[in-house]
Homo-oligomer: A and B are copies of this chain.
């Protein structure tokens, strides 16, 4: 099975959403990327269509922006 990628930046909104998503999908189905720590991943996230965090990029390539923690521009 293809994995989803969950992008976050350590904000409270992100952490809360992360826990819910892991509960729902299961930890094996998700790569977690902390854009605040791994800034070199930001271009790939933007290329996937991520505008803000937290966001989940699904195996089909769609981006689900979940609640709102931070604009991706503010992470650079």
Contact = CB atoms under 8 A, between A and B. Distances in A.
Contacts of A65: 66-68
Interface in A20-76: 20-21, 23-25, 29, 58-60, 62-68
Given A64-B67, A66-B66, A67-B65, A58 B25 contact: no
Given A65-B66, A65-B67, A67-B65, A60 B23 contact: yes
How many monomers of this chain does the complex have?
A: 2
Contacts of A9: none
Contacts of A66: 64-66
Nearest to A63: B67
A20 to B, nearest CB: 5
